[in-house]
Amino acid sequence: WPHAKCSMRGILAKPIDSSAVSHRPSLHGNLSGVGSSPAPVRRQSSPSSSPQSPAMAPEILLATTSRNAAEWATQIRAEGVELQVYPDEISDLAAVRYAVVLNQPEGILAQCPNLEAVSGLGHGVEYIAQEADSLPDHVQLFRIVDTKMAERMANWCLWAILNCQRKCDAYYRAQLERRWEHGRIEEYESVDNADFHVGIMGLGVLGGALAEALLRNGYPVSAWTRSRRTEPRFPCHAGRGELPAFLSCVNVLVCLMPITAETEGMLNADLLRLLPRGAYLINAGRGAIQVEADLVTALDEGQLAGVVLDVFEREPLEEESPLWTHPGVRVFPHVSSFTPRDAGVKQVLENWALVKAGKEVPPERHMQRQRGY
């Protein structure tokens, strides 16, 4: 399976150089949008020059390169919590026991020698997975799991499915050209829900919420996962060997998988050829799962009738990308499901309170190191 351009690179656990810190592109829709030139980490002050001694430095670090980092810091502090905040409010990383992160500068977690736990600010946690090998095994890793976020994703996917099912983009193009296409686009025969088979790749919290919504609306559903899942209400395929059977009958394929070494570049020409000719693709998982050149070729050759993309190999999507203007592509800037900030703050603080009390954090919030999500 060829790999996409955006690779799962390793992280070098080297001391942070305050004059040049490497920054990840923002890959997570919940807090998308990274400034073109984030500020470097301010050099840590010595006890003699700092108004706050290292012993008094906050034990919680907020490290994100997202544009709305200030809003997260404000809301966490509104709960009476003291923070060290990347990049300008770092007083002593040795005091940090808990890190709250999203697309954090590479290597910053490895510079926290007393770290006990890390929480991501979203459902996807590839930015934590990329640093997991540099962290001691005792450091607990968490993600946000929120019903409102799952509902938002399901709603966005339902819109995208209906857009494909009723050929809404063709009607919009006709509107722009002032063409009254009565009956010609759908040939006087709308496709009913019961006749539009939806295949879901990835059946975690988000994929499960979408499956529930589809079943309520009368769609035939099937799913594919890397490992075997038991689901009595619809077929659930597992492993590479069952991909042909899974893909052969779907009208629209929805990808909600996390990015791992195994899923990187998976939506490529070989996989797309297994779909029925004229199928649709929706990807709201991660951009590195798709090979965009192969998507364009499949569209041009008629193998795909259309794609709806909320994630891309490189984000922000480059201005010269053919996806912007291709008539078969609908582009969204990684907005399908934002993290509800109030619920996110509540959950990351609750995680830390449980850890400090020696209690178990709900298992669904744990990131599994061996799986990378």
Closest CA to 65 of 266, 315, 286: 315
Q: Bridge partners of 98?
A: 60, 117
Selecting among 334, 341, 366, 369, the annotated active-site residue is: 334
Q: Does residue 286 have an active-site annotation? A: yes
Name, in order, each residue with C-beta under 8 angstroms of 70's C-beta and a sequence gap of 6 or more.
none
Selecting among 286, 341, 369, 371, the annotated active-site residue is: 286
3-state DSSP call for residue 356?
A: helix
Q: Bridge partners of 282?
A: 254, 308
Name, in order, each residue with C-beta under 8 angstroms of 217's C-beta and a sequence gap of 6 or more.
158, 193
Kindly report the length of the chain: 373
CA separation for the pair 114, 112 (Å, rounded): 6
The answer to whether the bond into 87 is cis (omega within 30° of 0) is yes
CA separation for the pair 46, 33 (Å, rounded): 33
CA separation for the pair 61, 69 (Å, rounded): 12
Helices (H), the chain: 69-77, 126-129, 147-165, 168-176, 205-216, 243-247, 269-272, 292-300, 341-356
Please state at what angle helix 341-356 crosses helix 69-77, rounded to 10 degrees: 60
The tokens describing 133, both together, are 């090998």
Which are the catalytic amino acids?
286, 334
